[in-house]
Structure 1
Amino acid sequence: MWGKSSYSNSDVSVTTAENPQEIFKRAYRANEKGAYLNSIEEYSNYLKLVPEDASAYYNRGVVHYTLKRYNDAVRDFEKAVEIDPSKTYAFLYKGYAYEMISDCKRAVENFEKAVSLGENKNAELYSHKARCENRDKNYKEGFQDALNALKIDKKNAYAFFELAYAQYGLKKYSDSVESYTKVLQFNPNDGVAFHNRGLALVFLNKTSLACKDFQRSSEIGYFDSKKRLDEYCK
């Protein structure tokens, strides 16, 4: 996942007493140790000397992402792919960063670019792509990408959740119940999954079962289920 320095002696036009490669190594090691701010500082020092190193921008972007500085991460990933348009992981993580700042349109665009560059066996990518598509109510696309994720990883609870969500959006309520049941087999304390399965059961006129799900969801601590109990289970 991490990029390697592209530095060579001919790259540096300024006089420095320190080999830029050593600065890059320090930045890398600082990140490994969890010294994230120090890592960012070292990558920044390196980029002053080797400003066209896509890997350094990518690596610094990943550190920003780790620190939840998603806008800074996007800027570094943008610079990385500007320098090297074939840098697949920069597109992938740019997609993740855009998702975290709720820009799902751009997230999906970057996920698709990563897939086009060969990142087509990544269940996590397809799961996050499905999540963004579901968030934007593009349920057919969300459904397909959740299936793509499950073809790669049949035990991906995240993908089953997005599959269930898309099925609900497509009014496939029985299928949605089945998929949420899969989610709960993996994560038996997922209050959102209980709540959402309950909603699907309501549409199937299985109110008593739905109320059990809303009750369990409420006990776990999912606030919206209290509203559903008042609405459907009096």
Structure 2
Amino acid sequence: MEILKKKNNLILIIISVFFISCNTNSSRIDKLIEKANVLYSEKEYEQVIKNDNEIIKLNPQLHQIYFQRSLSKYNTEDLKGALEDINNAINIKKEGEYFYHKARFFEKMNKIDSAIAYYTLAVKLDSNLYEAFNNRGLLYKSNRKYQLALTDFNKALELDPNNSILYNNRATLYQELENQEKAIEDFTKAIKINELSYYYRSRAASYAFINKFNKALSDLNKAIELDPSNSMAFNDRGLLNNISGDRVKACSDWKKAEELGSTEARYYINKFCL
């Protein structure tokens, strides 16, 4: 009876020590996670990696920590390490977001087929990942799979209809399809959300393509107003002024473009201004 009592007491001590140890580890992990999150928000990626290493030693089953360490390694140009850690996260839990980032890593390595495959897995697991639809659409577009690209851009916009980048991406697809009216519609929507010099310059190209030169010129003026360092906008405006017969303004624009670093401008200066 005494032996049994001693055994029971020993078991209770072991259990108590186990729970104290678990609680101590849990408390330490919580503090390390909090610290890592702050460091990540401050873009201190090397420090995040060190913190996450400690967390993983204490608990190697936290898929979110492998994910955070993966992104931190990616941001420090350690692509191999980033891929290893995203695989570690996926092995513990298959999340759409994890496959999305794995696709990004393969895209960075220029392994386009693999990137498309993992974007596809990402949206199968999480159909709300508009970024995955957008990125896959861009890859389809670069491979001239235009209908697939359009389907993806449409889906991305359905999920996030107030994203100017998505309208811009679909607009550039319409430009490649030579559907300038549709491109202009999308650039206009992008501009309503976010007035960027790039969007005005891009819409100007579509206007010029359908011979609406006054509207194109107006857009290029706005592009330059928003970004006076936009050498390409000066180049384009020089071309429009030249088409309109105003050689003086054209040469002035090309000279300004060259000052801003455009090598293309020198060709036009040599051809039309000397």
With the length of structure 2 as denominator, give the TM-score of the two structures.
Answer: 0.67
Q: Of 181, 184, 190, which aligns to 1:140? A: 181
Distance of aligned partners of 1:102 and 1:201 in 2 relative to their CA distance in 1, 3 Å threshold: farther
Cα deviation for residue 23 of structure 1 reads: 3.3
Residue identity over aligned pairs, in percent, reads: 20
Q: Distance in 2 between matches of 1:185 and 1:159?
A: 13
Larger deviation, residues 30-39 vs 124-133: 30-39
Q: Secondary structure at the match of 2:186?
A: helix
Q: Of 158, 162, 180, which aligns to 2:220? A: 180
Counterpart of 2:171 in structure 1 is 130
Within the alignment, does 1:60 sit opposite 2:60 as a pair? no
Which amino acid counterpart does residue 126 of structure 1 have in structure 2? Y
Counterpart of 2:161 in structure 1 is 120
User: Is the Cα contact below 8 Å between 2:136 and 2:152 reproduced in 1?
Assistant: yes
Counterpart of 1:152 in structure 2 is 193
Counterpart of 1:214 in structure 2 is 254
Distance of aligned partners of 1:209 and 1:225 in 2 relative to their CA distance in 1, 3 Å threshold: same
Larger deviation, residues 41-50 vs 174-183: 41-50
Distance of aligned partners of 1:198 and 1:133 in 2 relative to their CA distance in 1, 3 Å threshold: same
Counterpart of 1:87 in structure 2 is 129
Counterpart of 1:6 in structure 2 is none
- Structure 2: gaps (5+ residues): 1-58
Counterpart of 2:86 in structure 1 is 43
User: Is the Cα contact below 8 Å between 2:201 and 2:233 reproduced in 1?
Assistant: yes
Which amino acid counterpart does residue 116 of structure 2 have in structure 1? V
Larger deviation, residues 217-226 vs 118-127: 217-226
Which amino acid counterpart does residue 183 of structure 2 have in structure 1? G
RMSD after superposition: 2.6
Cα deviation for residue 74 of structure 1 reads: 2.7
Distance of aligned partners of 1:190 and 1:135 in 2 relative to their CA distance in 1, 3 Å threshold: farther
Cα deviation for residue 104 of structure 1 reads: 7.1
User: Is the Cα contact below 8 Å between 2:70 and 2:86 reproduced in 1?
Assistant: no
Which amino acid counterpart does residue 40 of structure 1 have in structure 2? L
Distance of aligned partners of 1:216 and 1:147 in 2 relative to their CA distance in 1, 3 Å threshold: same
Cα deviation for residue 140 of structure 1 reads: 1.5
Larger deviation, residues 52-61 vs 201-210: 52-61
- Structure 1: gaps (5+ residues): 1-16
Counterpart of 1:171 in structure 2 is 211
Which structure has the greater CA radius of gyration? 2
Q: Secondary structure at the match of 1:121?
A: coil
Distance of aligned partners of 1:68 and 1:161 in 2 relative to their CA distance in 1, 3 Å threshold: farther
Q: Secondary structure at the match of 1:95?
A: helix
Counterpart of 1:29 in structure 2 is 69
Counterpart of 1:227 in structure 2 is 267
